[in-house]
Amino acid sequence: MRDVSGFRFAGVSAGIKANGEPDLGLIVAELPVATAAVFTSNRLPAAPVVLSRETLRASYGRTRACVVNSGNANALTGHSGVRDARRMQQATADGLGVPPEQVMVASTGVIGVPMPMERVESGIAAAIREARPSGFSDFARAILTTDKSVKMAVESAAGAPLLGCTKGAGMIAPDMATTLTFVVTDAQLEATSLQRSLGHAVETTFNRIAVDGDMSTNDMILVMASGLGVRPKLRPWTDALTSLLDDLARQLMRGGEGVHHVVAIEVRGAPSEDAARRVARAIAVSPLVKTAIAGEDPNFGRILAAAGTAGVPLTGDRLSLDVDEAPLLRSGAPVVEPEGEARARAVMQRPEYTIALDLGIGRASARYLACDLSHEYVSINADYRS
Amino acid sequence: MRDVSGFRFAGVSAGIKANGEPDLGLIVAELPVATAAVFTSNRLPAAPVVLSRETLRASYGRTRACVVNSGNANALTGHSGVRDARRMQQATADGLGVPPEQVMVASTGVIGVPMPMERVESGIAAAIREARPSGFSDFARAILTTDKSVKMAVESAAGAPLLGCTKGAGMIAPDMATTLTFVVTDAQLEATSLQRSLGHAVETTFNRIAVDGDMSTNDMILVMASGLGVRPKLRPWTDALTSLLDDLARQLMRGGEGVHHVVAIEVRGAPSEDAARRVARAIAVSPLVKTAIAGEDPNFGRILAAAGTAGVPLTGDRLSLDVDEAPLLRSGAPVVEPEGEARARAVMQRPEYTIALDLGIGRASARYLACDLSHEYVSINADYRS
């Protein structure tokens, strides 16, 4: 993994997590760098989300650092939570000798518990001391919560490297996994272009994982571009960013709680992209489809019934359905062939496959990523106090 | 249970279900009676839904009979499905000597399998022979599929009895349980008034069970009023119908697959009823809230985070939250009291309780019924081929 010029990274154990795992991460840019971000649309955003949104605006998209803690979400913590997020920002700014409005802040972990600010502040001091150009994987480790492993990805666009990492609370399928994602690059890009690229790239990746991925109280995707490298054309750069985020989104799904199957829901032949997206989403979020995926059961009735809930007019006898290379339905009629069902069952045992539904009424298409709803999911979430 | 004048009912075993259980039900009115119905909004409605919607229109809301089979949904069955639904209608009409456009048809059971029409037709003949005024519970039994028990309820409005029954595929929480519900009364009511009452009554009952209850390919709620009894005022009659449907909806939830807790989600202090409804729904459908209900865990963070996904602006420090008599949150702050959590846990062990969230920003309220997401749910639906 090659370094991205202009940045240093750190990940340290500040004692926020009881188990002593790394829980404080820092990205430092040598100079103010172009920065873009998307934030949760949850109407009860955590204090660091509110603060970072303000910060991005106040800095005109040119920041110097991002400080992140895991182990405590600083969410639903009221006025003291706002104060604590500002203290994190100020401590980082003071330690680095930069203005506080150039420091982004993110948190993830338990909800509704006050932040252990002494530990956080000494962690920030340690992270500032330890930050180094090759520290990205330390950073990537420090942002994890219930994740089973570090999730990183690399891309490049016209010689500009992109380095990214992500974490999920694991509960990816439903609406409130906290997803934090960070991308750094040395490409020369204006903040406005960066923001536009990010909007595009998120739309078909993190916003298409089962439920609009942007719903936890703490979600944030941050991109920082140091400008020390090449100046890429925006189109291929956006493609590279999309590909990087797609890679990270898949890692997130695979690492989800109790997930054994990551399934792409491809809807084709739709009258519009929006219609395709709505149908794909209805299938991806259906608990009955998700349990059928868990049971490795090619139950086309559930898939079609879910498609019918999207509010998009459908014509039953135009529908075709496949799981990877196994056809289930042609022009609305079940495909009856020797060993057809056995073939479909075999596909559904794969860790990753595609459910392709052709609506036969247009030319637009869209894709969602779905996963199974399994016993582990229920166990983890019925017994775990987040 | 007193009879409702003007109707006869039957429930017989036609051999559609492999296990020999009753699977064909019939309601016969002595004369054309005022009829109202609401149907699924699924965009791939089953053939009997399409036919009954047409029939209700063609009869100007005055029908003579409703024939129902369980064991086969006649859904996603293409052109032959349409033909089979018409054959059911015609056979019933011929047997009773009435026009086919006065016969409603409903089906529930497996999807995508052709109807065994010989058995259905001899079942219809048997049901016509056996129909009797006191046969409502036979009818109620014949419409069941995976239900563990018969679900009936009685109400009265100003001396007019209402008799109702319902069935669910059991998968009530998610979007595609097939719910069939039938109500008969001898009240004197015009079809248009009946339809208006039904619309009102459904809105706060069957449309508020976890997900808009109207999403399976086969759902239908039918009300028939013989007019042989009193002429009630519409307002109290609508209240009685609402109360009857509420009773049936709760029975449906209690009988759901793997359901141990039926929880009313009450949202108060909202700026509008629509806002209250959206917040209540967001909580009711959240898989993380549903697993917390299963785990009997008073996890207020999940409830609030789910509330935040509804798109309704919320003010964190105005929120109050209770489970029955146990307070969890006041003005956004966790209620810390000795044994507070133990009390909340005790409430959440009850089979039925209320989660009350006061938004503190208005006077409107709304209620949803939710249930737990349990291991049994996953087992039943991962292993069951519907």
Closest approach of chain B CAs to the CA of A77, in angstroms?
8
Active centre residues of B (catalytic): 178
Q: Which residues contact A82 (CB under 8 A, 6 or more apart)?
A: A47, A50, A51
What value does the mean pLDDT of chain B take?
90
Q: What ranges in B131-177 are assigned the alpha helix state H?
A: 136-142
- Residues 103-142 of chain B whose Cβ lies under 8 A from any Cβ of chain A: 110-112
Q: Chain B contact for A378, CB < 8 A?
A: yes
Q: Which residues contact B81 (CB under 8 A, 6 or more apart)?
A: B46, B47, B74, B75, B114, B115
Record: contact B313-A377, CB cut-off 8 A = no
Residues in B touching A42 (Cβ below 8 Å): 305, 308-309
Instruction: In whole angstroms, give the CA distance from residue A283 to residue A290.
Output: 9
Catalytic residue among A77, A145, A178, A238: A178
Record: contact A309-B382, CB cut-off 8 A = no
Residue B209 DSSP label:
B
Per-residue pLDDT, B223: 97
Nearest to B43 by CA among A276, A271, A313: A313
Q: Which among A43, A307, A375 has the least Cβ separation from residue B378?
A: A375
Do the beta carbons of residue B68 and residue B26 sit within 8 Å? yes
Do the beta carbons of residue B245 and residue B202 sit within 8 Å? yes
Per-residue pLDDT, B334: 82
Q: Which amino acid is at B39?
A: F
Quick check: B384 pLDDT over 60? no
Q: b or e along B189-207 (b: 16 or more beta carbons within 10 Å of the residue's beta carbon)?
A: bbbebbbebbebbbebbbb
Span B40-94, pLDDT tens digits: 888 889 999 999 999 999 999 999 999 999 999 999 888 899 999 999 999 999 9
Do the beta carbons of residue B101 and residue B61 sit within 8 Å? no
Record: contact B112-A291, CB cut-off 8 A = no
Q: Which among B176, B305, B311 has the least Cβ separation from residue A305?
A: B176
Q: Which two tokens stand for residue B29?
A: 């009115």
Instruction: In whole angstroms, give the CA distance from residue A328 to residue A343.
Output: 10
Does residue A178 have an active-site annotation?
Answer: yes
Using H for helix, E for strand and C for coil, what is the string for A76-112?
A: CCHHHHHHHHHHHHHHHHHHHCCCHHHEEEEEEEECC
Per-residue pLDDT, A371: 84
Which pairing describes strands B320-323 and B352-358: parallel, antiparallel, or unpaired? antiparallel
Residues in A touching B175 (Cβ below 8 Å): 282, 286-288, 306, 309
Instruction: In whole angstroms, give the CA distance from residue A20 to residue A167.
Output: 18
Per-residue pLDDT, B86: 98
Record: contact B378-A291, CB cut-off 8 A = yes
User: What count of CB pairs under 8 Å joins A to B?
Assistant: 191
- Residues 71-90 of chain A whose Cβ lies under 8 A from any Cβ of chain B: 75-76, 78-79
Per-residue pLDDT, B174: 42
Per-residue pLDDT, B175: 45
Which residue bears the tokens 């001898």?
Answer: B186
> What whole-number percentage of chain B has pLDDT above 70?
92
Per-residue pLDDT, A69: 98
Quick check: B210 pLDDT over 80? no
Q: Chain A contact for B321, CB < 8 A?
A: no
Instruction: In whole angstroms, give the CA distance from residue B126 to residue B95.
Output: 10
User: ipTM > 0.90?
Assistant: no
Q: Which residues contact B17 (CB under 8 A, 6 or more apart)?
A: B23, B70, B71, B109
Residue of A nearest to B380 (CA): A291
The CB density around residue A32, as the number of other CB atoms within 10 Å, is: 20
Record: contact B286-A310, CB cut-off 8 A = no
DSSP A218-252: S-EEEEEE--SS----HHHHHHHHHHHHHHHHHHH
Q: Which two tokens stand for residue A48?
A: 């660091």
What is the greatest pairwise CA distance in chain A? Answer: 72
Q: Which amino acid is at B146?
A: T
Report, as an integer, the average pLDDT of B111-118: 91
Nearest to B363 by CA among B289, B294, B298, B268: B268
Instruction: In whole angstroms, give the CA distance from residue A262 to residue A294.
Output: 10
> What whole-number percentage of chain B has pLDDT above 90?
67
Per-residue pLDDT, A1: 59
Closest approach of chain B CAs to the CA of A297, in angstroms?
7
Nearest to B355 by CA among B309, B316, B320: B320
Do the beta carbons of residue A205 and residue A249 sit within 8 Å? yes
Nearest to B301 by CA among A17, A206, A169: A169
Nearest to A261 by CA among A298, A206, A304: A298
More confident residue, B171 or A31: A31
Instruction: In whole angstroms, give the CA distance from residue B139 to residue A254.
Output: 48
Cα dihedral: A270, A275, A276, A277 (round 10):
170
Q: Chain A contact for B302, CB < 8 A?
A: yes
Instruction: In whole angstroms, give the CA distance from residue B30 to residue B11.
Output: 18
- Ramachandran bin of B290, using left for φ above 0, alpha for ψ from -120 to 50, beta for the remaining angles: alpha
Per-residue pLDDT, B142: 98
Per-residue pLDDT, B212: 42
Do the beta carbons of residue B253 and residue B209 sit within 8 Å? yes
Do the beta carbons of residue A65 and residue A98 sit within 8 Å? yes
Q: Which two tokens stand for residue A164?
A: 């990214």
Instruction: In whole angstroms, give the CA distance from residue A23 to residue B211.
Output: 38
Q: Which two tokens stand for residue B226?
A: 């013989």
pTM of the model: 0.82
Record: contact B287-A383, CB cut-off 8 A = no
Please name every residue paired with A370 in a beta bridge, in sequence order, or none if there are none: A263
Do the beta carbons of residue B122 and residue B88 sit within 8 Å? no
Q: Which two tokens stand for residue A90?
A: 């100020």
Q: Which CA distances in Å does A119 have to A75, A191, B147? A: 18, 33, 55
Which residue bears the tokens 């903040």?
Answer: A191
Instruction: In whole angstroms, give the CA distance from residue A144 to residue B302.
Output: 19
Q: Which helix (H) or strand (E) holds B342?
A: helix B340-347
Residues in B touching A217 (Cβ below 8 Å): 305, 308
Residues in B touching A176 (Cβ below 8 Å): 286, 288, 302, 305-306, 309
Of the given ranges (B57-71, B165-179, B246-260), which has the lowest mean pLDDT?
Answer: B165-179
Record: contact A383-B309, CB cut-off 8 A = no
Q: Which residue stretches of chain A have pLDDT < 70?
A: 1-2, 169-177, 210-215, 377-378, 380-386
Q: Which helix (H) or strand (E) holds A380?
A: helix A375-383
| Phi, psi of A373, deg, nearest 5 | -110, 110
Residue B317 DSSP label:
G
Record: contact B288-A176, CB cut-off 8 A = yes
Binning pLDDT at 50, 70 and 90, where does residue B381 land?
low
